[in-house]
Amino acid sequence: MSRTAARPPAAAKLTEPGWLTTTLGDADYEFLCQLIYERSRIHLGPDKRVLVASRLAKRLRHLNLNSYQEYCELMRSPAGAEELQFLIDRISTNHTHFFREIKHFEFIRDVIIPTWNAVKGRKEPFRIWSSASSTGEEPYSLAIHFAENFAPAESGRWQIEATDISTRVLEVATQGIYEQERLTSVGPEALRRHFQKGEKKWAGHFRVKDELRRRVHFHHLNLLEGAYPFAWSFDLILCRNVMIYFDRPTQETLVQRLTAKLVPGGHLLVGHSESLSGVKHSLKLVRPAIYLKPAA
């Protein structure tokens, strides 16, 4: 690795100790942004350059590359296709936590579950889709909520699908192991009922119990590509804190695709900071960040 003492041009600079000084220049940044946009529709503005540079720093070291330029060359080579998944994994923001945006869970408990509980004679389960599930906290929060609020005899009446574009987060989600401090919003009773306490090397961690983990099915899926691989429509879809990264036309396309996968009378929940105002859609706003697909 060569080190340079020369002052780099104004661009995102990597200056971690023990690491060369290299910069993510305009052309390389634009190239990476375009690639990320084409693959995931995540829109990165100029303000994200430092973030991208720092998130890729470790990867460059791992690949023994000396500069972002070399990384871009790799992306242009046949090996780039495989590397692209890694790039998306590093760039997508996966922040989440249990029972995030509690108003949604209150709505599910107070409105959705009583409505579903009152339905008689329905053969198929109620279907829920956590469409950008990240490391699993969202779909497991849903599973806890449904396990707690449907009578045990009704437990076969709901099923959860959970998807994400990032294979890295899906691995974490599938394992269902979380540090204790990430579980404060679960509450001691639910923690005891639905989690197993780790011992020895897993001390300080909890694992979602098998019976709950079995109720959540994780899949790798890009929300913006191809037909959705579900033969059925959903009664409830959560698409929270992901649209914020997309531009308006992409948000519109996504909302239309998700609406097509909702049953009439089904609900779409978006993040509270993701207004659909300015996005063309056919849904009815029932509460902040909660939309209903009207009956046909």
Ligand X SMILES: C[S@@+](CC[C@H](N)C(=O)[O-])C[C@H]1O[C@@H](n2cnc3c(N)ncnc32)[C@H](O)[C@@H]1O
Per-residue mark of binding to ligand X, 230-249 (x: CB under 6 A): ----------xxx-------
Instruction: Choose which of 14, 52, 132, 290 interacts with ligand X (CB under 6 A).
Output: 132
Per-residue mark of binding to ligand X, 102-121 (x: CB under 6 A): --------------------
Terminus-to-terminus CA distance in the chain, angstroms?
Answer: 64
Instruction: Choose which of 223, 237, 268, 269 interacts with ligand X (CB under 6 A).
Output: 223
Per-residue mark of binding to ligand X, 145-174 (x: CB under 6 A): -------------------xxx--x-----
Q: Which residue type occupies 12?
A: A
Closest CA to 96 of 25, 164, 32: 164
Tell me, yes or no, if 168 is annotated catalytic: no
Nearer to ligand X, 14 or 254 (CB): 254
Nearer to ligand X, 21 or 93 (CB): 93
Q: Is 250 in the site for ligand X (CB under 6 A)?
A: no
Give the largest CA-CA distance in the chain: 75
**What stretch of H or E contains 117?**
helix 113-118
Q: Is 41 in the site for ligand X (CB under 6 A)?
A: yes
Task: Specify whether the CB–CB gap between 75 and 32 falls below 8 A.
Answer: yes
Nearer to ligand X, 65 or 100 (CB): 100
Q: Is 99 left (phi over 0), alpha (psi -120 to 50) or beta?
A: left
Task: Specify whether the CB–CB gap between 277 and 258 falls below 8 A.
Answer: no
Stretch that binds ligand X, among 25-33, 36-44, 152-160, 229-237 (CB under 6 A): 36-44
Tell me, yes or no, if 182 is annotated catalytic: no
Q: Is 138 in the site for ligand X (CB under 6 A)?
A: yes
Task: Specify whether the CB–CB gap between 157 and 125 falls below 8 A.
Answer: yes
CA dihedral (216, 220, 223, 228) positive or negative: negative
- Entry field: residues in the chain: 296
Catalytic residue among 41, 89, 100, 164: 164
CB atoms within 10 A of CB 286: 12
Residues classed as catalytic: 55, 164
Please give the residue ranges that form the binding site for ligand X (CB under 6 A): 40-42, 92-96, 100, 132, 134, 138, 164-166, 169, 221-224, 240-242, 271
